[in-house]
């Protein structure tokens, strides 16, 4: 088995006199350039990608299109505009790049001719395009747009949008859940698929594709173009959709539907699976259809397995049935014999090659986080990042498994920044089962000193804090301030096998708390430089729930706590959150049917044990963990005279995304840690 060789850190040699290295800050993190949406040209000589830069004055990211030669020797900026230019796609002959841009108002499709360097607007629709794909010969365009289901034209939807905006009365009347999702109140629109003929540089003969079904494609709020695919012959579209009926808010039953590219009746091709089916992909020769599927309805963290259907015989094979990893993404090799697969794997997000005939995976990367895979011409392009390196693009030679970095999008920014070293550790957690974590040292680490501890607890709870350069919860923002950071993947985390992930269901305050406590004992015994008596625990979402649970169950350990969008009362969480399938699965049913499960580990029952100073943070547009949860936490703290602060963001959801808000978040959090923890 071959592994790709990676350095734990990125070393940049500056020309001339080098500036004095300085520690990493939240301001650095927010302003780093972010690479994405990479795709290989048809001849394999160049890679197109989008690059986000940060405009602090405008308080947002800006997106432009770049290309780089596949050996990394030549980089060219294709677009430079104040609007967002995203989602590049090569024309079939490699002579042009299609992309989405909001430069003339709503998001439309544009074409950049590489020879003339001219940009041509291809679509001019009354509504914006959200995602798109092209047929292999570029004769057709398939795209998604938000429309009102009762409208027979984009102009009709535009008139309804305008009427909503100008209405004097602002009430919204709902007849079923969802009424709101993530950070949006539902407005009566759906995301639907459409197709258009590409004639010259114009899109004509636009036709609805998914309108015969009541549902969103791509799904909201996070679905993208990976949820639909076009057959190689350009005749068929397959997409994933969940029916938007009265059961939608408690259902994970996405099915795959097949329809002619020009529209018509969509046929359900996965009716026998009541669980999640998604990410369909045709094999290069069009004889097979692959997709990801879960087994258990209602469980969003079930294992995603690759199914492969022979389109001639109809036979379906579960390729990864005996492989205990959940697939995040996959791509076919050009000959259709191999899949290139990514997924969480023991504190990393790994890349594998997966032989379809033998059903055997081969690990290709040993560190960091891998994503954004594009395959062609004997090579594979992918994004790679780790705890000391923000994402860049790499090229993997499939003949010899040699890897080469081909972009350096933060080279100048990284030149004088130093990061803390890190290592993965393991210990015996709940029931003496192996649990993994990471310790990240301060950048100016001195082995003779003891350092205060930032103890980070991930959300999900089916998630992972791994070898990943995170843009919200990045341990290097704490180590840059002189703290040691520790992250533990407790029972329920992903990447350690499905049984490990399943083990948290119905036991939110049980096994994970034992893991965190035994993990703290382990680092206290193992790392002399960590002052575990001088520590603060921080967490968001489920991590915020755990902060509230720790406040009542383990109040003597930490000098301070930071709770971001954390659950305070399990009962009201059930009745106020939007995705009911999640809380019902985790607690074995609805609250009115299984109240004992909800109350078993309910933080609200233990507020009399609270005594640790706590900073509470909340976004008021967070409909996943509504603001009343944090208001309840803050009231319980204040009413008992416990030192506490409440930081509210009226323009943020479950995540703090705006650049200046992120900087403020880190300033307030670091001030809180410095107030309660003694420095070295």
Whether the pLDDT of residue 511 is over 90: the answer is: yes
- 65 CB-contact burial (10 Å; exposed 0-12 / middle 13-18 / buried 19+): buried
What CATH number is given to the structural domain containing 654?
3.40.50.1820
515 is catalytic: no
Whether 563 is covered by a domain: the verdict is: yes
Percent of residues, the chain, with pLDDT higher than 70: 97
CA distance 282 to 542: 37
Whether 109 is covered by a domain: the verdict is: no
- Choice among 622, 630, 662, 666 that is catalytic: 622
CA distance 57 to 452: 34
pLDDT of residue 16: 43
Whether 153 is covered by a domain: the verdict is: no
The rounded radius of gyration (Å) of the Cα atoms in the chain is 25
CA distance 352 to 364: 5
301-342 pLDDT, tens digit per residue, is 999 999 999 999 999 999 999 999 999 999 999 999 999 999
Whether 490 is covered by a domain: the verdict is: yes
Q: Where are the alpha helices (DSSP H) in 299-345?
A: none
* DSSP symbols for 493-542: -SSS-HHHHHTTTT-TTSHHHHHHHHHHHHHHHH-TTEEEEEEEEEEETH
541 is catalytic: yes
Banded model confidence at residue 2, pLDDT cuts 50, 70, 90: very low
546-569 pLDDT, tens digit per residue, is 999 999 999 999 999 999 999 999
Closest to 261 in 3D by CA, of 136, 99, 93? 136
Whether 32 is covered by a domain: the verdict is: no
pTM over 0.85, yes/no: yes
* DSSP symbols for 35-97: EEEEEE-TTSSEEEEEEEEEETTTTEEEEEEEEEETTSS-EEE----SS-EEEEEE-TTSSEE
By the 8 A CB rule, do 505 and 600 touch? no
Whether 327 is covered by a domain: the verdict is: no
- Choice among 210, 403, 541, 644 that is catalytic: 541
Whether 103 is covered by a domain: the verdict is: no
End-to-end CA separation in angstroms for the chain: 44
600-656 pLDDT, tens digit per residue, is 999 999 999 999 999 999 999 999 999 999 999 999 999 999 999 999 999 999 999
Closest to 105 in 3D by CA, of 131, 79, 128, 132? 128
pLDDT of residue 678: 85
pLDDT of residue 10: 34
CA distance 240 to 258: 9
By the 8 A CB rule, do 256 and 280 touch? yes
CA distance 249 to 572: 16
pLDDT of residue 680: 54
- Choice among 491, 564, 654, 666 that is catalytic: 654
679 is catalytic: no
Integer CA distances (angstroms), 502 to 302, 461, 586, in order:
8, 10, 10
The boundaries of the domain holding residue 651 are 419-676
Tell me what the mean pLDDT of segment 516-532 comes to. Answer: 99
Query: Which residues on adjacent β-strands are paired with residue 394?
Result: 382, 405
Whether 596 is covered by a domain: the verdict is: yes
pLDDT of residue 448: 96
pLDDT of residue 356: 98
pLDDT of residue 18: 58
439-484 pLDDT, tens digit per residue, is 999 999 999 999 999 999 999 999 999 999 999 999 999 999 999 9
By the 8 A CB rule, do 356 and 306 touch? no
Query: Which residues on adjacent β-strands are paired with residue 403?
Result: 396
Sheet containing strand 228-230, strands side by side? 228-230, 236-241, 255-260, 267-268
Where b means 16+ CB within 10 Å and e means fewer, 435-453 reads bbbbbbbbbeeeeeebbbb
By the 8 A CB rule, do 100 and 85 touch? yes
CA distance 3 to 394: 14
pLDDT of residue 186: 98
Structural domains in the chain (count): 1
């Amino acid at each position: 088995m071959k592994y790709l060789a990676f350095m734990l850190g990125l070393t940049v040699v500056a020309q001339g006199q080098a500036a004095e290295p300085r520690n990493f800050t939240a301001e650095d993190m927010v302003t780093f350039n972010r690479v994405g949406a990479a795709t290989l040209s048809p001849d394999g000589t160049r890679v197109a990608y989008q690059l986000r830069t940060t405009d602090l004055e405008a308080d947002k990211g800006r997106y432009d299109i770049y290309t780089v030669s596949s050996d990394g020797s030549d980089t060219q900026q294709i677009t430079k505009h104040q609007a967002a230019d995203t989602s590049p796609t090569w024309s079939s002959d490699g002579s042009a790049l299609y992309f989405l841009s909001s430069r003339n108002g709503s998001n439309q499709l544009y074409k950049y001719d590489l020879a003339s360097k001219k940009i041509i607007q291809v679509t001019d629709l009354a509504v914006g395009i959200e995602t798109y794909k092209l047929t292999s010969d570029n004769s057709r365009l398939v795209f998604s747009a938000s429309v009102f289901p009762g409208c027979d034209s984009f102009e009709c939807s535009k008139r309804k949008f305008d009427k909503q905006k100008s209405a004097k009365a602002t009430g919204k009347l709902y007849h079923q859940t969802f009424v709101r999702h993530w950070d949006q109140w539902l407005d009566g629109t759906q995301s639907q698929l459409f197709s258009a003929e590409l004639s010259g540089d114009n899109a004509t003969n636009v036709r609805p594709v998914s309108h015969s079904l009541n549902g969103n494609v791509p799904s909201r709020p996070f679905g993208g173009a990976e949820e639909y695919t076009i057959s190689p012959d350009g005749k068929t579209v397959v997409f994933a959709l969940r029916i938007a009926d009265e059961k939608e808010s408690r259902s994970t039953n996405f099915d795959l539907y097949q329809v002619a590219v020009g529209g018509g009746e969509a046929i359900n091709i996965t009716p026998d699976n009541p669980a999640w089916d998604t990410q369909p992909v045709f094999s290069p020769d069009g004889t097979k259809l692959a997709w990801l599927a879960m087994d258990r309805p209602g469980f969003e963290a079930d294992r995603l397995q690759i199914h492969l259907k022979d389109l001639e015989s109809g036979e379906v094979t579960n390729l990864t049935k005996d492989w205990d990893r959940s697939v995040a993404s996959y791509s076919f090799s050009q000959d259709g014999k191999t899949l290139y697969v990514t997924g969480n794997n023991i504190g990393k997000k790994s890349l594998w090659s997966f032989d379809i005939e033998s059903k055997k995976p081969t690990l290709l990367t040993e560190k960091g986080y891998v994503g954004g895979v594009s395959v062609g011409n004997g090579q594979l392009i992918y994004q790679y990042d780790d705890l000391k390196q923000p994402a860049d693009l790499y090229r993997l030679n499939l003949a010899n498994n040699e890897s080469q970095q081909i972009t350096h999008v933060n080279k100048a920014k990284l030149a004088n920044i130093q990061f803390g070293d890190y290592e993965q550790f393991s210990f015996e957690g709940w029931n003496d089962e192996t649990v993994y974590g990471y310790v990240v040292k301060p950048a100016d680490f001195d082995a003779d000193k003891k350092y205060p501890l930032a103890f980070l607890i991930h959300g999900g709870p089916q998630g992972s804090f791994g070898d990943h350069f995170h843009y919200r919860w990045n341990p290097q923002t704490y180590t840059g301030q002189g703290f040691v950071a520790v992250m533990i993947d407790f029972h329920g985390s992903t990447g350690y096998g499905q049984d490990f992930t399943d083990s948290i269901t119905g036991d939110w305050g049980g096994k994970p708390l034992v893991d965190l406590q035994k993990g703290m004992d382990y680092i206290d015994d193992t790392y002399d430089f960590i002052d575990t008596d001088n520590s603060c625990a921080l967490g968001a979402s489920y991590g915020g729930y755990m902060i509230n649970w720790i406040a009542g169950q383990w109040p003597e350990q930490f000098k301070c706590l930071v709770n971001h969008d954390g659950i305070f009362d399990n009962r009201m969480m059930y009745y106020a959150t939007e995705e009911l399938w999640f809380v019902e699965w985790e607690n074995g049913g609805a609250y009115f049917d299984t109240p004992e499960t909800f109350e078993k580990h309910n933080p609200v029952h233990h507020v009399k044990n609270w005594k640790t100073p706590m900073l509470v943070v909340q976004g008021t547009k967070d409909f996943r963990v509504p603001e009343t949860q944090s208001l309840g936490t803050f009231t319980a703290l204040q009413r008992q005279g416990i030192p506490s602060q409440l930081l509210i963001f009226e323009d943020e959801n479950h995540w703090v995304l705006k650049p200046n808000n992120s900087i403020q978040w880190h300033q307030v959090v670091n001030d809180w840690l410095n107030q309660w923890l003694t420095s070295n």
